[in-house]
Amino acid sequence: MKKIALAVGLVSLSIIAFAQKSSTDSIAEYRQMLQDGNPADLFEAKGEGLWTQKRGPKNASLEKCDLGKGPGVFKGVWVELPRFFADTGRVQDLESRLLTCMQELQGFDAQEIANTPFGRGEQSNVTALATWIAAESKGMKLNLPQAHIEERKMYEVGKRLFFMRGGSHDFACATCHAQDDKRIRLQDLPNITKNPGAGNGFGAWPAYRVSNGQMWGAQLRLNDCYRQQRFPYPIFGSDATIALGVYMGVNGKGGATVAPAIKR
Amino acid sequence: MADPMRIRAQAAGDKATIRVLMSHEMESGQRKDGNGKTIPAWHIQDVTATLNGKTVMTAEWGPAVSKNPFLQFTIKGAKAGDKVGITWKDNKGDTRSDEATVT
Amino acid sequence: MQSKFLLPLAAAAVCFLTACSTPLPSSADLDKLTKEIIARSFRAQGQAQLDRVNPDEDNLLCAQADQSGTTIDEKLAAAIEARNMQTIKPPADGKFLGDYKEGEKIAQSGSGKTWTDKADAANGGNCYNCHQISKEELSYGNLGPSLYNYGKMRGVANPNSAESKPIVEYTWGKINNPRAYNACSSMPRFGHKGVLTEMQIKHLMALLLDPASPVNK
């Protein structure tokens, strides 16, 4: 009698254990298995090559590009962006700063690249460069500067944009990203108003999206957010996108980064 | 020539683990575009791995392999300093070869 | 000079050079700056025109409350709810329920109203993004409460009866304009903002209230 009771007990325990593994757990497991062999590596390799390659009308490389820590410095710059740049008098994020360097050093037309759709022409090169530069800060903690008044103003603007409701559906960023433990369908949503959500969210892009096989920088991630919020199109490298980057990055201060990450 | 592969080759004991990331669209030939036309198949068909010039693995891939494929396998007897070569050929006749040294 | 003065002095020097001692503009000025930035940061694309970044009074008030982390003032909330209540019209033919099978399709569809969607195509309700609805569909969000057994839990045995009328009318109003009941609800105003047609909303009503709907099984 005892033996049967024990066997029944074990069987029911294993049934409970099986039922406990939720859909979100299984998806997390699947993503963990994909970490090795992240196709973002391919874009990283491409970006690394583009940094030193002489290109554009001026036939120059990007090796003198100042991304915030001095000309040519690429290690550790990504965790301090967006930040204020004296030469342009603007707070800039990585992708808009790359456009500045591609124009000033290589002679490309920054406006033209900004107007090029994602994934085409020089835009795909910007994405590759952004992927590589993010990788050069891999594992470092977010540490955006707020010393300059322009940086602090942009944080405040970013906060207002984050909570602004609009579009046909009255969505704000905050509608989905201002509470803990929320998800859309089975996609977990980081709470971007504070850590760890802000660090996890902001610190994961650029990322490779398995579902469409595309490499997405932070600009494209924000672009698609706004599209699904039913807003009009955010211009590439616009102040609104940069302000949001400041808001998210400052909220994520001290958070460890995982970019370039792999996503669904 | 197509975009380069990323190859990592690590020796542990009497074998080496090879990890390869290939850059390829891998169009299955079964998808249709917005106008209903079938997107033509464009994918890797043959993969060859060599160790110091000698073929150690061959593979035939079909439409089920996904975009930017990741391949992992082990080579018995490979040690640090050996050269691993990977070559792929697709159904359009395009090909790519890359090499890495086992660490 | 004593060493304990050197560090704050150095910091002050850095501050002076990097403009960190400059005080932040007033909140009103920052609101103005935000508006200017919005004006130059978006462009019309597809069916998404720039009026979509020109929020109405309801959205302005709710955003302000959210931003400050406080609940919106009672009087303002009541005014928002009254404004939105006025937009709700009963169905033209007096019939509130449609086909629950169509309702399930509408609840599953997330398309419509983005700049990649055609303006004249049928929009989806996107309901499963935020709500659990049927028992079978495991892929549901949790931004909104579960709607499983919606009609059953509220004792709606016959949606056409007099006793079910309050629930039926509330549900109709809620889908058409949730801000009539909850001033700063996160839920879209499907009827009022023209996201769903009257017929589509009737199908959703059936999904939730028809005793034959899988939601109520």
Task: Say whether the B–C interface has 3 or more Cβ pairs within 8 Å.
Answer: no
Question: Looking at CA atoms only, how far is residue B9 from chain A in angstroms?
Answer: 13
Residues 6+ apart with CB under 8 A from C86: none
Of A45, A46, A213, the CB nearest to B68: A213
Greater confidence (B56 vs A4) lies with B56
Q: State the pLDDT at residue A23.
A: 66
Per the prediction, chain C carries an average pLDDT of 93
Specify if B1 maps to a domain.
Answer: no
**Contact between A151 and A246 (Cβ < 8 Å):** yes
Instruction: Answer yes or no: do A39 and B72 touch at CB < 8 A.
Output: no
Domain count within chain B: 1
Interface test with A, best of B7, B28, B68, B73 (most A CBs within 10 A): B68
Specify if B24 maps to a domain.
Answer: yes
- If you average pLDDT over residues C166-177, what whole number do you get? 98
Find the domain containing B43 and state its range.
Answer: 6-101
Residue C151 has pLDDT above 60, yes or no: yes
Could you list the pLDDT tens digit for every one of the 103 residues in chain B? Answer: 678 899 999 999 999 999 999 999 999 999 998 888 999 999 999 999 999 999 999 999 999 998 999 999 999 999 999 999 999 999 999 999 999 999 9
Instruction: Answer yes or no: do A234 and C44 touch at CB < 8 A.
Output: no
Q: What is the pLDDT of residues A110-131, one digit of tens each?
A: 999 999 999 999 999 999 999 9
Q: Is A224 on the interface with C (CB under 8 A)?
A: no
Nearest CA in chain B to A44: B6
Instruction: Answer yes or no: do C188 and A183 touch at CB < 8 A.
Output: no
Query: What residues 145-204 of chain C have any CB closer than 8 A to a CB of chain A?
Result: 179, 186, 188-189, 193-195
- Report CA B13 to chain centroid distance, whole Å: 24
For B1-103, strand residue ranges (E) read 6-12, 15-21, 44-51, 54-60, 70-76, 83-90, 95-101
Q: State the pLDDT at residue A18.
A: 43
- Report CA C84 to chain centroid distance, whole Å: 13
CB atoms inside a 10 Å sphere around CB A100: 19
- If you average pLDDT over residues A15-21, what whole number do you get? 46
Q: How far apart are the first and last CA of chain A?
A: 50
The residue among C8, C211, C217, C215 whose CA lies nearest residue C97 is C211
Q: Is B6 on the interface with A (CB under 8 A)?
A: yes
Percentage of chain A lying above the pLDDT 90 cut: 82
CA atoms of C181 and C2, how far apart (whole Å): 65
Q: Is A196 on the interface with B (CB under 8 A)?
A: no
Q: State the pLDDT at residue B60.
A: 96
Q: What is the pLDDT of residues B82-100, one digit of tens each?
A: 999 999 999 999 999 999 9
Q: State the pLDDT at residue A7.
A: 45
Question: Looking at CA atoms only, how far is residue C28 from chain A in angstroms?
Answer: 11
Residue C3 has pLDDT above 60, yes or no: no
Confidence of residue A61 (pLDDT cuts 50, 70, 90): very high
Chain A residues touching C132 at Cβ < 8 A: none
- Report CA A115 to chain centroid distance, whole Å: 20
- Please state the pTM of the whole predicted model: 0.88
Chain A residues touching B43 at Cβ < 8 A: none
CATH number at residue B57: 2.60.40.10
Q: What is the pLDDT of residues A166-213, one digit of tens each?
A: 999 999 999 999 999 999 999 999 999 999 999 999 999 999 998 889
CA atoms of A81 and A248, how far apart (whole Å): 11
Per the prediction, chain A carries an average pLDDT of 91
Q: Is C24 on the interface with A (CB under 8 A)?
A: yes
Question: Looking at CA atoms only, how far is residue C139 from chain A in angstroms?
Answer: 5
Q: State the pLDDT at residue C7.
A: 56
Question: Looking at CA atoms only, how far is residue A144 from chain C in angstroms?
Answer: 14
HEC states along A90-159?
EEECHHHHHHHHHHHCCCCCHHHHHHCCCCCHHHHHHHHHHHHHHHCCCCCECCCCCCCHHHHHHHHHHH
- If you average pLDDT over residues A224-241, what whole number do you get? 98
Q: What is the pLDDT of residues C50-96, one digit of tens each?
A: 999 999 999 999 999 999 999 999 999 999 999 999 999 999 999 99
Specify if B68 maps to a domain.
Answer: yes
Q: Is A225 on the interface with C (CB under 8 A)?
A: no
Residue A6 has pLDDT above 90, yes or no: no
Nearest CA in chain B to A34: B70
Residue at token pair 């509330």: C170
Separation in Å, CA A154 to CA A164, C29, C76: 15, 12, 29
Confidence of residue C10 (pLDDT cuts 50, 70, 90): low
Q: What is the pLDDT of residues A126-148, one digit of tens each?
A: 999 999 999 999 989 999 999 99
Instruction: Answer yes or no: do A239 and C14 touch at CB < 8 A.
Output: no
Q: State the pLDDT at residue C61.
A: 97
- If you average pLDDT over residues C15-44, what whole number do you get? 87
Q: State the pLDDT at residue A50.
A: 97
Chain C residues touching A171 at Cβ < 8 A: 186, 188
Specify if B90 maps to a domain.
Answer: yes
Greater confidence (A10 vs A263) lies with A263
- If you average pLDDT over residues C29-36, what whole number do you get? 97
Interface test with A, best of C67, C70, C189 (most A CBs within 10 A): C67
CA atoms of C38 and C36, how far apart (whole Å): 5
Helix ranges, chain C (H): 3-18, 27-41, 57-68, 74-85, 100-108, 150-153, 165-176, 198-209
Question: Looking at CA atoms only, how far is residue C127 from chain A in angstroms?
Answer: 10
Interface test with B, best of A31, A42, A211 (most B CBs within 10 A): A42
Q: What is the pLDDT of residues A64-78, one digit of tens each?
A: 999 999 999 999 999
Specify if B76 maps to a domain.
Answer: yes
Q: What is the pLDDT of residues C95-131, one digit of tens each?
A: 999 999 999 999 999 999 999 999 999 999 999 999 9
- Catalytic residue numbers of A read 225
